[in-house]
Chain A
Amino acid sequence: MVSATNIIRQPYESLYKDELEALKVNDKDLKPEGWLLSPKSVRKFILGSSDELKYKNKKIQVSQKFYGDSGLIDRCIVTLMSNRALMLVGDPGTAKSMLSELLAAAISGQSSNTIQGTAGTTEDQIYYSWNYALLIAEGPSENALIPAPIYLGMKQGHLVRFEEITRCAPEIQDALIGALSESQLKIPELKHQDTIFAKRGFNIIATANLRDRGVNEMSSALKRRFNFETVMPISDTQVELELVQKQAQQLLVDINLPSELDQDILNLLVTTFQDLRFGKTEEGHAIDRPSTVMSTAEAVSVAYSAALEANYFNNGVLKPGGLVKQLLGTAIKDNKDDIKKVQQYFEIVVKQRGKKSKLWKDFYNSRKYLDIQ
C-alpha cells in the first residue's frame, strides 16, 4: 500500500510499481512479443496471488485488484494476444476502465496511451495532428507531427486505450477500422517514412457503457474487429464488501484521514446497493429497481463521502444516517421516480429489518434525508 501523496490519482504502473517489477523479475514463462509480462503474470497481477515474490530483498505479495469472474480476465488476455481488439462493455461503474488500465499497465508498462471518447472527439485526437506553425515554417516533417495515442501505440508496440468509444460519432469510430485491419498508419504528408507499421504488442482496449448509447450504433465492420467481453456487476455481497472497504479506505489514506470503517455499516451499505441493483432482497421480496445504476463505484463513493462528512463534521463517527444523506446524491441522478422507489424500499424492506437490528433501525429513522420536496 502506498502512503499519502498529493496527486489525486496515480496511474497503476506507478501505484503498483513494486509488484510489476517483482513479477517481471520472477517471470519464467513465455512472453508474447511486445509484452513486458507473460500472460500468467498478467493474470496474477490482476487477480492477485498468494505466492510471495522476492524482489530487491523484499517479499512482495501481489494483491487482488479486480473482483469478479476470473474467466473474464483469461478471455481478455487471450484476446489481446490475438489479432483482434478488446471491447469491454457493461453497466457503468463495473470497473471496465479500471480493468483496461490494469491490462495496459501490466502488458505495456504504461496506461497513458488513452483516448477519451466524447461527442467532440476528432481524428486528430486519435491518430495524430500537426504543429501548424512548424508545419508551415519547415514543411512536413516528423518534428512537426504531434502524435496521438494510436500513432504512439503502433510505433512503440503498446496497448492503446479508448474509453467510452460509443460516445464518439460513428464516423470517428469507423476511423479505427483502418488501423485495426491494416495494422498500419499512412501519413501521406511525409515523403519518407509515410507508413507506420504497427509493432507487435500494439492492440486496442475499448470500453463502452451500455446504459447510454448502446453498441447498436456501432457499424458492424467495426464490431467485427473486436472481441466483446461483458463486465458484470458484482453479485457476491462478501466480495463487494471487501472491495468497497478496500477502496474507500485507500481513498481516505490518500488524504491522511483515519481509515477505519465500521464493517457492519459497510455491510448495510453493500446490502442496500445489491438489493436495489438486482431488484430482489435476500428475504425474497421483489422490489422496484431505480433506473439509475447502483454500481460498486457509487457504493464506494457513498462510503467515502459519508466518511468525509463524519470526519469533518461529526467527530469521526460514521453513522447509518450519514449514509442516507450521501445516498440521495447517488440515487436521484436524473429521475424523481427513483427517490420514490428508494423511499418505498425504506418503507418496506429497511423498516422490516429495523425490527431485528439496531443498525437498520437507525438507517430507517434517517429516511427523512430522502425527502427533498
Chain B
Amino acid sequence: MKPTTIQDLSDFNELFATISSENIKYFPVRHHSPACSYFLKHYIQKLEPDYILVEGPHHFSHLIPQITDDDLKPPFAIYTTFENKKTKQGEEGRQSSFYPFCDYSPELVALRAGKEIGAHMEFFDLGFPEQIENERTFYGNTPKLGALIDDVYLRRSVYLQSLAKNAGCRDEDELWDHWFESRVKPDEPANIEHTLQFINHVAAYCAMARRDYTDEMLQAEGTFAREKFMAERIAELIDSVAVDDTNILIVTGGFHTIALPRLVKKHKKLSKIRKSPECDNYLIQYSFDQIDRLSGYGAGMPSPYFHQLNWDYINKKISEPPVSTLLTEIARQSTKKKLDQKISTADTIQALVQANTMASLKGRKAVTREDIFDAVRSCYVKGSIEIEGLRILEIAKNTLSGDRIGQLPSTVSLPPVLQEFKRHCESLGIKLDQVHRKRWVLDIYRKTKHQKISRWLHCLNFIGSPFARLVSSPQFFSGSSIKLTQEEWEISWSPLVDSHLIDLSIHGVSIKEICLYRLKERQSALVQTGESRDAMAMVTLLVEICRMGIQETMDTLMGDIQVVLNEEENLVHQISALQQLLMLGSLKPLLNLTSLAGVEEIYVLCYQRICYLLRLIITDDTDYIREILQNLSTMRELIVASDAETELSDNDSTIDRQLLIDSLEHRLSEKPMLYPVLYGAYFGLLYGLGQKTDRELTDTINVQFLSAYSKPAERVGFFYGLISTHRDLLWHHEDIIKTLSDLLEQWSDHEFLTLLPEVRLVFSELTPNEIDRVAENISDIHNTAPIGTLYHDDINDEILMWNVNLSMQVSEILNKQGLGDWISQGKK
C-alpha cells in the first residue's frame, strides 16, 4: 500500500483537510515534545473526544489505569518482554524493549487529559512481538527503542537538514526547537487557531521528511505493517460506533499521521489477527539519564531536564524560565566540581542576557537549549573551547539532561523478585531516586551487618545484575592482619537493573532462588564442557558460593570437588586450586562452622594431592615446568604461613609439613633424575624448609655446573630453579656467590659467551634493590674498587657484540702466532 506522497504544494491543503475532518481528527506528535503536549492537551480539552487512540503496542492498553494514576511520577517506562520461540540465527530467545514516558510526553498527556473528560482510551499499534518479526535487522545492535524509532526518520531526512541550514540552524534538532518548541509562552495561552496551525505545520514538516523514504525502506523497517494495523483498528472503531455523534481523536507520531487517513479510507476488510506470543508488560522506573542517551541512537529529544523545566514553566508550575534556572545551576555545579574557572554571578547574568539576545536575534519567542549552550560557550568558557571549555560544556550537558528517576505508586504490580530488591534497598537506606554511583566499603570481618550486605551484593553479582561491581576484595592473608581488610563495591542503579531482574523473575520469587537456579546452570555447564575435570573452575565456584553465603548446594559441590581433585594430574591446576582454597580461609566470617569443616577437608586433600604429584613428577616440557616454578613459591608461603599460625594459636596446623618434605626428598633421590631446573627448585624448597645444609648446597651447585649437560640452559638450570624458589640465597648465603664466581672464572671465553644468555636469565627476575644487594656481595668477595659506570648509551648491542667477536678473533690469531702476551698485558 502506498502512503500519501506530496506532489506539490496544493497537496498540503488536501492533507490538512484529511487530518481534521468532521468527527475523525488526527493529531501528529513528536515523541517527548512539550510543545506537542501543550497543544494536544488544549485540543483535547476543546474537542472533548469520546475516543482517543494513542500510538503504542495494543497490549499496553490494560496498563492505562495505572499510567494515569495520580501517584505515578515520571519518568517511567513500560518494559515489555516475551520469549521468542522461533529463534533465527543469532537472535536471542528473549526480546524486550522500553517505552519511556515523561511528564511532557504527548502520549501521557493525552491519556491524562482523556481521563479527565472520561474518554475511552486505547493503545492501538501493532504488538511488540509482531513488530520484532517484521522489522529486519535494520538497527543492528542498538536496543529496541519502541515508539521512539519514529524520530529517527526526522533526524535522517536530507530535506530537513538543508531546511535547517537555510533557517540558520545547526541541525534538525535545532530546527524543530526553533519552529515548534519555542512557540509556547506561558503568558500566551493557546487558542484553537494556534492549535490548528500547529497541527498543520507539524503535518507539513513530517510530510516533507517522509519524502526522503522509498517504499522499500519503509517496508523493510516494518512501518507499512504497523500503519496497516493501525488503519484497520481505526476503521474497526469507525464501523462499530455511530460516527456522526462520536468524536474520535488519533494521536500518533507525525510520520504516520501523514499516511493513516488515506489508508483508513482505502481499507477494505480486516486481516486476520494472527496469534502472537504473550508479552509481559511492566511499569518500571526510568531515568532522564537513560532518556538523554536515546538521542545518541537518533531517537527522542536530548536534554530531558530542560524540557521538563519548560513544561513546568508553560504550565505555570514554576515562575522562573528554564534558562535562568539552568544557567545558575551550571555555575553552581562548576564551583562544586572545583573547576579552575570560577563562574561569577556577573558571568551568569551575562550568559542570561546572551541567551535571550540570541533567541531574539534568531526570531524565536523563547530560549531553546542550543541558545543555552551557546551562552555557556560564550560566557562561561575563558579560553579555548577544546581545552578550558571541555569540562564546563560537559557539566552543561549533564545539567540540562538531569538525573531524575521516576516514582511508582505502591499499587503497581511488580514481580516478587523486584519487590524484594526494592524493599532490601530501602532497608539499607539506598535511595533509588537518583542515578549516582556510590562507593561502599564493607568491613566484612568486623560487622555482621556488612557481612549480610556483602552476601547480598555477591548474589546480585552472581546473577549478572548491573547494580553492583566488586572493586576490590581481600587477598589471602594469614594471622591477624586479615581482620583489617575490607571489600569495596561500587553501586549504581539504572533502569536496566530493574529490567534485568524482571527478566530473571521467571526463575524464582527471590534473589536467592534465582541464585540457586544459576548455580545449577553453572554446574551442569561445567559438566558439559568437561570443565568439571578442572579443579580450578570448581573451586572458583565454591568460593563464589561461600561469598554468597548460600550453603544449600555446597555439599554436593564439595563432593564433586573431592572427586576431581583426586583425578587431577596437572600440578599447576592443583596448586591454583589450593590458592583458591587458601582464599576461602579468609572468608571464614561469612560461613557458618559446619560448612567450614567440609572446606578444610578439601583443603587438606588438595595439599596431599600436590605432595603426591610432586613426588612423582616426570617431565621435561619447558612450558609446563616454567608454570610449575611460578606456582611453587606458593607452597613455600603456605608452609611459612601455617608455621606462623601454629605459633599463634597453639593448635596443630592442618598442614603436615613433613609430608611435603618427604615427597620432595623422595623425588630428588629417585630415578629418572629431575630436569635440572626442577631439581634446583626442589632443592631450594628443601633448603628453605631447613632440610639441607649449606655445605650440601654448595656441593650440589658445583656438581651441577660441572655436569655434562650439552644444552647451556640445562647447565645453568639448577641454579635457575634454585633461585626461583629461594631467591634470598643470593645475598644471604655468601658461599653461593663465591661458588658461582669461581665457576665463572673457570669457564673459557667461548663457554662464557655461550652460557651468558642463560646466566643473565637467572638474574633477570631480580628487583633493582635485590640486584644492588647481590652486587655488593660480589664486590665484597673480590675486594674491588667500584667498577664505574655500567651503562653506555652511545653503543648499541650490535656494535658491542661485533666488537666482542672481533676481539676474540684477533686474540685467537695473535695467540696462534705466539703473541698472546700483547693482549694479556691489558688484562688484570
Q: Hey, which bits of chain A sit against chain B, CB under 8 A? A: 39-40, 43, 70-71, 74-75, 77-79, 81-84, 89-90, 210, 214-215, 220, 223-224, 226-230, 232
B382 contacts the other chain (CB 8 A): yes
Q: Is the beta-carbon distance between B361 and A39 smaller than 8 angstroms? A: yes
Please measure, in the bound complex, the distance between the C-alpha atom of A50 and the C-alpha atom of B388, giving whole angstroms. 37
B368-411 interface code vs A (CB 8 A; 1 in, 0 out): 00100010011101111110110000000000000000000000
Whole-angstrom CA separation of A78 from B358 in the bound complex: 6
* Sample of 16 further A-B pairs with CB below 8 A, known A79-B354, A82-B350: A43-B168, A71-B370, A75-B354, A75-B378, A77-B361, A78-B374, A82-B357, A84-B350, A89-B383, A90-B384, A215-B383, A215-B384, A224-B382, A227-B378, A227-B379, A229-B377
CB closest chain-B residue, reference A77: B361
Say whether A78 contacts B382, CB under 8 Å.
no
- Bound-state CA distance A162–B350 (Å) is 22
Given contacts A71-B170, A78-B357, A79-B354, contact A223 B377 (CB under 8 A): no
Give chain A residues whose Cβ lies under 8 Å from the Cβ of B384: 89-90, 210, 215, 228, 230
B9 on interface, CB distance cutoff 8 Å? no
| Known contacts A82-B353, A82-B354, A89-B384; A75 and B361 CB within 8 A of each other | no
Residue pair A224, B383 in contact (C-beta under 8 Å): no
Chain B residues 340-364 with CB under 8 Å of chain A are: 344, 346-347, 350, 353-354, 357-358, 361-362
Taking a contact as CB atoms closer than 8 A, the residue among A39, A71, A74, A84 that contacts B379 in the complex is: A84
Q: 4 closest A-B pairs (Cβ-Cβ)?
A: A230-B385, A227-B378, A223-B382, A78-B357
Q: A74: which B residues are within 8 A, CB to CB?
A: 168, 358, 361-362, 374
Expressed in whole angstroms, the Cα–Cα distance for A84 and B377 within the complex equals: 14
Residues of B within 8 A of A89 (CB): 383-384
A230, B374: Cβ atoms closer than 8 Å: no
* CB-defined contacts of A79 to chain B, threshold 8 Å: 354, 378
Q: Which residues of A contact B389 (CB under 8 A)?
A: 230
- Report whether B170 and A78 are in contact in the complex, using a CB–CB cutoff of 8 Å: no
Tell me the chain B residues, 458-505 only, with Cβ under 8 Å from chain A: none
Cβ-defined contact, B383 with A228, below 8 A: yes
> In the bound complex, what is the Cα–Cα distance between A90 and B385 (angstroms)?
9
Contacts of B354 in A (CB 8 A): 75, 78-79, 82, 227
Known A70-B168, A79-B354, A89-B383; judge A224-B346 contact (CB<8 A).
Answer: yes
Could you tell me the distance in whole angstroms from the C-beta of B163 to the nearest C-beta in chain A?
A: 14
Compute how far the CA of A224 lies from the CA of B378 in the bound complex, rounded to whole angstroms. Answer: 11
Interface residues of B (CB under 8 A from A): 168, 170, 344, 346-347, 350, 353-354, 357-358, 361-362, 370, 374, 377-379, 381-386, 388-389
Could you tell me if A78 and B168 are in contact, using CB atoms closer than 8 angstroms? no
Contact of A228 with B168 at beta-carbon distance under 8 Å, contacts A75-B358, A78-B361, A89-B383 already known: no
Interface centre among B344, B346, B362, B383 (most CB of A within 10 A): B383
Instruction: Give Cα distance in the complex from A224 to B377, angstroms.
Output: 14
Q: Nearest B residue to A210 by beta-carbon distance?
A: B384
Distance in Å: Cβ of A41 to nearest Cβ of chain B: 12
**Chain B: minimal CB distance from A209 (Å):** 11
Q: Chain B residue with minimal CB distance to A71? A: B170
Q: How many angstroms from the CA of A71 to the CA of B362 in the assembled complex?
A: 11
A227 to B389, CA, bound (A): 12
- Nearest neighbor of A79 in chain B, beta-carbon distance: B378
Decide: B344 and A224 in contact? CB cutoff 8 A. yes
Q: Which of B170, B346, B388, B389 is the most central at the interface, judged by chain A CB atoms within 10 Å of its CB?
A: B388
The distance in angstroms between the C-alpha atoms of A40 and B170, with both chains bound, is 16
Q: How far is the CA of A366 from the CA of B557 in the complex (A)?
A: 74
- Residues of chain B lying within 8 A (CB to CB) of residue A220: 382
**Residues of chain B lying within 8 A (CB to CB) of residue A90:** 384
Residue in B170, B353, B374, B381 whose CB lies within 8 Å of A228: B381
Given A71-B170, A89-B384, A230-B389: A78 in contact with B378 (beta carbons within 8 A): yes
Q: What are 7 of the A-B contact pairs (CB < 8 Å)?
A: A78-B354, A79-B354, A84-B350, A89-B384, A215-B384, A224-B344, A224-B346
Judging by beta carbons under 8 Å apart, are B374 and A229 in contact?
no
Chain B nearest CB from A181 CB (Å) reads 10
Contact between B357 and A81 (Cβ–Cβ < 8 Å)? yes
Q: In the complex the two chains form, what is the Cα distance from A82 to B360 in whole Å?
A: 13
Residue of B nearest to A227 (CB): B378
Q: Which residues of A contact B385 (CB under 8 A)?
A: 228-230
> Given the complex, which residues of A lie within 8 Å of B353, measured CB to CB?
82
A258–B388 Cα distance when bound, in Å, is: 45
CB-based nearest A residue for B386: A230
Q: Which residue of B is nearest A39, CB measured?
A: B361
Residues of A near B347 (CB, < 8 A) are: 224
**A229/B170 contact (C-beta < 8 A), A39-B361, A224-B347 known:** no
Q: Which residues of B contact A40 (CB under 8 A)?
A: 361
CA distance A70 to B350 in the complex (A): 21
What is the bound-complex CA distance between A224 and B361, given in angstroms?
24
Minimal beta-carbon separation of A17 from chain B (angstroms)? 26
Query: Looking across the interface, which residue of chain A has its beta carbon closest to that of B347?
Result: A224
Chain B residues lying within 8 Å of A227, measured Cβ to Cβ, are 350, 354, 378-379
* Chain A min CB distance to B348 (Å): 12
Taking a contact as CB atoms under 8 Å apart, the answer to whether A228 and B346 are in contact is no
Q: Complex Cα distance A210/B388, Å?
A: 12
Please give, as numbers and ranges, the residues of chain A lying within 8 Å of B378 by CB-CB distance.
75, 78-79, 227-229
Chain B: which residue is nearest A84 at the CB level?
A: B350
Bound Cα distance from A71 to B370, whole angstroms: 10
Query: Nearest Cβ distance between residue A222 and chain B, in whole angstroms?
Result: 10
B370 — nearest CB in chain A belongs to which residue? A71
Determine how close the nearest CB of chain A comes to the CB of B341; give it in whole angstroms: 9
Q: For residue A232, which residues in chain B have a CB less than 8 angstroms away from its CB?
A: 386
> How far does the Cβ of A27 sit from chain B's closest Cβ, in whole Å?
14
Give the docked Cα–Cα distance between A228 and B375 (Å): 11
**A residues within 8 A CB of B350?**
82-84, 227
Across the interface, do B382 and A71 meet the contact criterion of CB distance under 8 Å?
no
Contact A215 B170 (CB under 8 A): no
Complex: chain A residue closest to B359, CB-CB: A78
Report A-chain residues with C-beta under 8 Å of the C-beta of B357.
Answer: 78, 81-82
- Chain A residues whose CB sits within 8 angstroms of the CB of B377 once the complex forms: 75, 229
Residue of B nearest to A72 (CB): B377
- Chain A residue at smallest Cβ distance from B353: A82
Q: Is the CB of B361 within 8 A of A228?
A: no
In the assembled complex, which residues on chain A have CB atoms less than 8 Å from the CB atom of B344?
Answer: 224
Closest to A32 in B: B357
Distance in angstroms from A180 CB to nearest chain B CB is 12
Which residues of A lie under 8 Å from residue B379 when comparing CB positions? 84, 227
| C-alpha gap A75/B353 in the complex (Å) | 12
A232 to B357, CA, bound (A): 24
Residues of chain B within 8 A (CB-CB) of A224 are 344, 346-347, 382
A215 cross-chain contacts in B, Cβ below 8 A: 382-384
Interface centre among A74, A81, A232 (most CB of B within 10 A): A74
Nearest CB in chain A: distance from B31 CB, A = 26
Docked pose: A77 CA to B354 CA in angstroms: 10
Tell me the nearest residue of chain B to A50, going by C-beta.
Answer: B166
A77 to B362, CA, bound (A): 12
| B340 CB, nearest partner CB in chain A, Å | 10
Q: Name, among B370, B385, B389, the residue most crowded by chain A CB atoms within 10 Å (CB to CB).
A: B385
Query: Bound state CA distance, A40 and B357, in angstroms?
Result: 13
